[in-house]
Chain A
């Protein structure tokens, strides 16, 4: 199996980014949601003045802090990895991509960093109201930072508000608001943050279930469950709606990703949505084999999801790869040849400009502009490179959706049974609640695999493939830093889990 993997430098760099991002996404969604849950708990304390709410708040806050630290550590690496491992990318799109990162620092990180200290050490140093305000600021700051980084990611998935400048040979921003209000950015932000709220709710339910199974801290656990299951239920609805929106935009701007996560090789009218399926592992585009060994489809559902029109056509991988005249889709081969012309004309333009040949420069420029939108394709060696890994994308998507459909049910059962004070006798449900957090983590990771693996080979959709975006480094250098981070992050993860378990088993202080 190892022989099948291309261990080139660019893939090691991708692996390193994936490693950092996946570790980061273990902790960050929990920070996003738990910060709001802590703010809710503290608001109840301030409103009621009851000490038990304060103890409860402090218990969850302590777990929040342990998790927060490692999220900060992995986040730092992500920001700088753009420069260290993807320096060509950083130069080519830094004019657009750098801005959200800088704004994230100014608008969000300082809110978190400043008010975090008040949240943890300010109980006796500032007024009750100011403390509550600080807790809310940490929650808002954390989620604002998610906004900016997801704007940046959304732009990579759907580059808007920019133009290629042939004189500097880079992409430059033309409209700031197009970048930050891009529909992909907005749906990405909403989907990711609400999935964070959902995960944090599962976290609270999971630990509270453990207390109930152990017959400890029952009152605190039930209070926590009520708040978390309401928050989780609302978030689940939001995750579903924004997920639907994300699929709709994906069909518009990344049809290949949509085809990959549905395992749709041949496009069709009234396309069905795969509810369950086992892919044929030897299937490749254009080989005529059946894509599935077994499948169960909901008829017409994919057309509805992708186009919001029953019966409409959804292109498959082969339509996009080889072109489909009937539906006006240009094949990748043709895009590659146009892209190569753009690259050639760009080089001619630079040469003519350096030689002071104005007419030659103008002609080359015209030739470039005509083919500019296919520039990225010119860097692909062959058309099949434009197809992302189908099995990984397909299974991740279906795992995410299956788990995402289960969570609202869990929240509803917990809410109803706790409200009726019957939860403690439902040991089976508490067992499910206990493992639900792990399932939430898996769903979140799977979601990012769909988003990022599904857009391969592009760093920036249709503009810049990963092979061009990389830094000129040796494989050994990237392997070494990959291993450094793997060992360090794993050690820190073990430390985090052990500290959390020890804090949980100690439990909150009894009032």
Chain B
């Protein structure tokens, strides 16, 4: 079925698949956003429970998407997986730590005998919602700004900075993407809660939070975008594979890839439209437009540093150690086999959407979380 595709097309296809999964993860970070909103939006225990039970029905989807993102990168670009996880050791360990504490917090928060107390688990959720996204943002930004590693002739990584990845968090460019992700997640979280909870007082506050957080996120976004357009990028000579610095490389990429440019512009417009609808038109549908917008912007963020002869995981330390989708990928056989498996992704999306609809067509109310079976809830 895929016999006509060439190796390089499979590599591009798999980068696209990984980018879609990564972008879906960014959309699903409304869960993380909801977690950090807990402190600013909820005024009492009932409201807290409403928020936790609302996002608590979705946290596993976000978590699973992140795991799949890792798994898909491992299978299709193993050299990236080995270089980044083994090299940027501390940053990934800190991110993982933030996700371990999330996994138990929903289930344990309200349970008798939970050892650490409900406040600690709420704090865990806050850490997960803020620190993990900040670090993921800085790690993704290194796709553009580069890292400090070298690979030997057997492709074994040596990281050249003792902070092993955490150093990325000290660059304003990287940090701006991290901060943008944190606040964008709060915008999405606010829109999701507006949609999912039926409680007018809280709805008014979440609708306002969507606008406030969007305004806060703007300077970070602008700084990131402007820097991106003017910075030198890591270009690859398609014939020799040599990596070299090219002025305004990412601007060139945007101009050379009109579909990506369209995704960026339409994505941003959809997010702005969603925030406007939520905050000024009391619409509950903002999350759908904002979600789609986030996916489109996410796709831009992942595609721009990889397509058009660009090194997607560049090394500032040794340009020729930089990874491209061609030198970091799995073999043709594996990519082909995995492509057959990937045909099932639409089926997965379909049943996720069906269950989402079946579960959420009735909105979450105070009656549900204070009812006789509330003890089993989060």
Contact = CB atoms under 8 A, between A and B. Distances in A.
Contacts of B3: none
A72 interface: yes
Contacts of A117: 57-58, 60, 355, 359
8 contacts: A68-B107, A69-B108, A94-B81, A95-B78, A95-B334, A98-B74, A98-B334, A118-B355
Contacts of B351: 110, 114
Contacts of B61: 110, 113-114
Most buried by A among B60, B61, B79: B60
Interface stretch (B154-162, B203-211, B212-220, B305-313): B154-162
Contacts of A83: 70, 74, 81-82, 84-86, 92
B84 A491 contact: no
Interface in A60-102: 62, 65-66, 68-70, 72-74, 76-77, 79-80, 82-88, 90-91, 94-99, 101-102
Contacts of B16: none
B256 interface: no
Most buried by A among B63, B83, B100, B330: B100
Interface in A156-197: 165, 168-170, 172-174, 176
B201 interface: no
Given A77-B96, A79-B67, A117-B359, A94 B116 contact: no
B174 to A, nearest CB: 20
B337 A90 contact: no
B324 to A, nearest CB: 14
Interface stretch (B36-44, B189-197, B284-292, B341-349): B341-349
Interface stretch (A122-130, A232-240, A319-327, A414-422): A122-130
Contacts of B70: 79-80, 83
B331 interface: yes
Contact of B156 (A66, A91, A102, A173): A91
Nearest to B107: A69
Given A74-B100, A110-B352, 10 more contacts: A79-B70, A90-B78, A95-B331, A98-B78, A107-B348, A124-B368, A165-B331, A473-B86, A477-B89, A503-B112
B64 A109 contact: yes
B241 interface: no
A303 to B, nearest CB: 40
Contacts of A102: 68, 71-72, 74-76, 338, 341
A496 B87 CA distance: 33
B113 A95 contact: no
B89 A494 contact: no
B195 to A, nearest CB: 16
Contacts of B257: none
Given A58-B376, A118-B358, A495-B116, A72 B75 contact: no
B93 A169 contact: no
B336 to A, nearest CB: 9
Nearest to A62: B376
B72 A94 contact: no
A121 interface: yes
Interface string B345-378: 1001001100100110010000010000100110
A122 B53 CA distance: 12
A103 B345 CA distance: 10
Contacts of B79: 91, 94
B78 A91 contact: yes
A125 B371 CA distance: 14
Interface of B: 53, 57-58, 60-61, 63-64, 67-68, 70-72, 74-76, 78-79, 81-87, 89-90, 92-93, 96-97, 99-101, 103-104, 106-108, 111-116, 153-159, 164, 330-331, 333-334, 337-338, 341-342, 344-345, 348, 351-352, 355, 358-359, 362, 368, 373, 376-377
Contact of A472 (B114, B156, B352): B156
A76 B68 contact: no
A297 interface: no
B160 to A, nearest CB: 11
A197 to B, nearest CB: 23
B86 A90 contact: yes
Contacts of B72: 102, 105
A398 interface: no
B112 A502 contact: yes
A495 B103 CA distance: 13
A97 B78 CA distance: 9
B8 to A, nearest CB: 16
Interface in A471-503: 471-473, 477, 481, 484, 488, 491-492, 494-496, 498-499, 501-503
A25 interface: no
Interface string A427-470: 00000000000000000000000000000000000000000000
A333 interface: no
B114 A98 contact: no
The 10 tightest CB contacts between A and B, nearest first, are A94-B78, A87-B86, A83-B85, A98-B75, A105-B68, A73-B103, A502-B113, A98-B74, A498-B113, A91-B82
B331 A173 contact: yes
Interface string A39-75: 0000000000000000000100010011011101110
A84 B104 contact: no
Contacts of A79: 67, 70-71
A77 B352 CA distance: 25
A76 B116 contact: no
A117 B358 CA distance: 11
Nearest to A76: B99
Contacts of B355: 114-115, 117-118, 134
Nearest to A473: B89
A235 to B, nearest CB: 27
Nearest to B368: A124
B115 A498 contact: yes
B376 A87 contact: no
A104 interface: yes
A342 B158 CA distance: 25
A120 interface: yes
A374 interface: no
A83 B89 CA distance: 9
A129 to B, nearest CB: 12
Contacts of A107: 341, 344, 348
Given A80-B85, A80-B92, A95-B331, A66 B67 contact: no
A124 to B, nearest CB: 8
B362 A66 contact: no
Contact of A491 (B106, B116, B330, B359): B116
